[in-house]
Chain A
């Protein structure tokens, strides 16, 4: 018996591998996911009709590919037969009209069972699930990896709150939303929400956040409009506990926010910038002063220069990208299509450090692309990496080697993608 099971398992495994290979080549029917709803609907139909014959018709008003309909039909007919209901021709007095339908939330399969002049309705629902990823390639390749599990589902629906910032610190994923900080713990490779700290504060229309952690991962500071939150980590008590170990305290604050500095561009005194909470941009005032009057800006990073030293790169609110170097501020060419946010990554490829910026071109979805700025022009260092929506936030990860992008999909769901640059 065990040997039989083993052979069957191996056969199934081979079939699975063959199926996987076919999946890569083209979309193929996956009838097994229809087994349950087919069985449920057949049971309901049989309860109405009892054993006998009926003409079965199926129409598809859903997004199920037409190629899968024969499989669905076969499953339903098999299940009906198991209940004593046999599919027959048009001569039958009974008919079963099955409609594969859907609404915005779920698929619904409906059977109209017609017995003479009477029509009875049976209905089952099928969860809709869909997923897609994309990558791009060039001499340097950007790769994105979705951080799974950071979406909070309530009643089967994704709670579409904007994600402002996120960071992986001390084995936890900290995610900042407009009204709360959620701490996710990893269980079996999936992030699940461990605890949430609500913040009751005045919101803003285009909120921003900078999340900074210290080197040992025992402390983080979240800079938000008008508010600063400090998180401390202490090992949770032994044994199973829902507590993540993080305690977070928030207070009103107008302190300047830290400007990201690439590891190879760090200066002795970290640069900080004052933030206008009522208008959602940095005022242009930085500390310590750098000897140049900066315009208001959305984003600033310190980047290393080929000749040594560091320069400040800002995206000013008038849409220009400016480089501040040696006491002078100059526009950077080749940035016309950049979004307001960008991130610096130390890939080790090419010049060593690249700027990842978002753009959209004429496309519906945004893309990310790595650039280098050897002089005063941004030169593409990678091909565009098309994302599944629009980029609403982009920043450098704690390790300095990758970036995080918050992507808002067409269905208004927010996801965090980790973006890394790989040498080609």
Chain B
């Protein structure tokens, strides 16, 4: 096949099982909004709404200079004041910075502690910039600077139109239609009969998708499945937390629940990023678990997940593992506000190890910066943090989607989501 240049035009039909606006990684957010910085498809940091940035010598103060001539979809200009208002709304607490201010064309971040990874952290989905409401409400009022603008939401279909004046260039397709809350099984059926162009493939169904000969795009491992363990109440004793870590059978999760997709891990960052992941033993050790638990009684423990489906099955399997070494574990409903143990998915992006580590640790509720840079120093940070057994890494999973035959040049972004702005349609002339 000749590699001809992509065509402009057409409507790309996308389906999702979730909410396209879900914070932070709903599929529509990246289409409508941009960040101050961005990661390219290889995870390298690039300018986005900010053209340049610099810090003082010790990374306590960063200033970002905005790209000129950028406008929101409603025609209003991008200004530092709007950026500050947006960031203040999206990050009200536990932010990587202490204060953010608009100083002329600059956005200035200050912090009591150093922020060496701030440019990389700002590329994350949590810090996208919008003018006006980005949360609940009428989707058509959402104003971003991204490649698509919202034009309507009818009968479960969110419609986006190409932003002709996008600072990154107009996207190839004229429009994107996102059918929301569509079960994965129905998405695949729609793809098969040509009613959808891009559909979701959860990690645990990757093998099935390949067997059905779907054209699947798969990211490297980007999602850490980990068990968050409360360090208070009955689990205040670190030996009990260590016993839980030793009792979990990662192999069963990997082989059975997640159908041998991704990698077994006991480290925060994957081998691909660090090269030292194997130093954290990931095998199950029932004897050690029983020895550590010894005569200690923990009382009944509750276990919850942030989502359902495979994560719910994985949580049930973990509960079984823990019961086998004498823990009394009860399942809490998915999404429960509090549980002693929560099975979570934490995402990391980019190739910057320190920034990725900080990203994961922040997601797990650890607010301090990661200032180390060398593999050895980062290993020690991980070793120290994981030694507390407040977070037990289990698996690294990829993200994936499947595309129809008329879609070309579809790639996954560094965060594993499909880059719809750079995709084009084969049958458009």
Give A contacts to B, CB under 8 Å.
Answer: 61, 99, 101-108, 110, 112, 121-123, 125, 157, 159-160, 200, 202-207, 278-281, 298, 315, 317-319, 336-341, 358-360, 366, 390-391, 411-412
Contacts and interface: CB of A to CB of B under 8 A. Distances in A.
Given A204-B170, A315-B4, 19 more contacts: A108-B274, A110-B279, A121-B379, A125-B275, A160-B42, A200-B69, A203-B168, A205-B6, A205-B170, A205-B171, A206-B169, A206-B172, A336-B2, A339-B3, A340-B2, A366-B3, A391-B3, A411-B42, A412-B42
B190 to A, nearest CB: 27
A200 B41 CA distance: 22
Task: Give the 6 A-B CB pairs with smallest separation, nearest first.
Answer: A108-B275, A204-B169, A103-B275, A340-B5, A205-B169, A123-B376
Given A160-B44, A411-B42, A202 B167 contact: yes
A298 B5 contact: yes
B213 interface: no
B224 to A, nearest CB: 16
Contacts of B40: 160, 412
A104 B351 contact: yes
Contact of B275 (A107, A315, A341): A107
Interface residues of B, number: 41
A224 to B, nearest CB: 12
Contacts of A121: 276, 279, 376, 379
B193 interface: no
Given A104-B272, A125-B375, A202-B165, A337 B279 contact: no
A200 B7 contact: no
A230 to B, nearest CB: 22
Nearest to B376: A123
Contacts of B4: 298, 315, 319, 339-340
Nearest to A201: B69
A203 B169 contact: yes
Contacts of B32: none
A123 B169 contact: no
Given A279-B8, A281-B5, A366-B3, A202 B273 contact: no
B2 A319 contact: yes
B94 interface: no
A110 B4 CA distance: 46
Contacts of A122: 376
A338 B2 CA distance: 5
A390 B411 CA distance: 15
Contacts of B1: 337, 360
Contacts of A110: 275-276, 278-279
Interface in B155-182: 164-165, 167-172
A317 B7 CA distance: 7
Nearest to A119: B279
Given A108-B375, A125-B375, A205-B421, A200 B276 contact: no
Contacts of A279: 8, 170
B51 interface: yes
Contacts, number: 116
Nearest to A411: B42
B406 to A, nearest CB: 14
Provide the main secondary structure of the chain B interface: loop
27 contacts: A101-B278, A103-B271, A103-B275, A103-B353, A104-B273, A107-B275, A108-B375, A110-B275, A110-B278, A110-B279, A121-B276, A123-B276, A160-B42, A160-B44, A200-B67, A205-B168, A206-B6, A278-B170, A279-B170, A336-B2, A337-B1, A339-B2, A340-B4, A358-B2, A360-B3, A391-B3, A411-B42
A108 B376 CA distance: 10
Contacts of A359: 2-3
Contacts of A358: 2-3
B68 interface: yes
Nearest to A318: B429
Interface in B77-95: none
A103 B44 contact: no
B422 interface: yes
A410 B353 CA distance: 22
Interface in B339-358: 351, 353
Interface in B1-26: 1-8
B275 A200 contact: no
Contact of B44 (A101, A157, A203, A205): A157
B350 to A, nearest CB: 11
Interface in B40-64: 40-42, 44, 51
Nearest to B70: A202
Contacts of A106: 275
Q: Which of B6, B170, B351 has the most A CB atoms < 10 Å from its CB?
A: B170
Contacts of B271: 61, 101, 103
Contacts of B379: 121, 123
A176 to B, nearest CB: 16
Q: Which of B4, B278, B422 has the most A CB atoms < 10 Å from its CB?
A: B4
B272 A207 contact: no
A204 B163 CA distance: 12
A198 to B, nearest CB: 9
A207 B171 CA distance: 12
A101 B2 contact: no
Contacts of A366: 3
A38 B267 CA distance: 26
Contacts of B276: 101, 108, 110, 121, 123
B2 A202 contact: no
A21 B270 CA distance: 40
Nearest to B41: A412
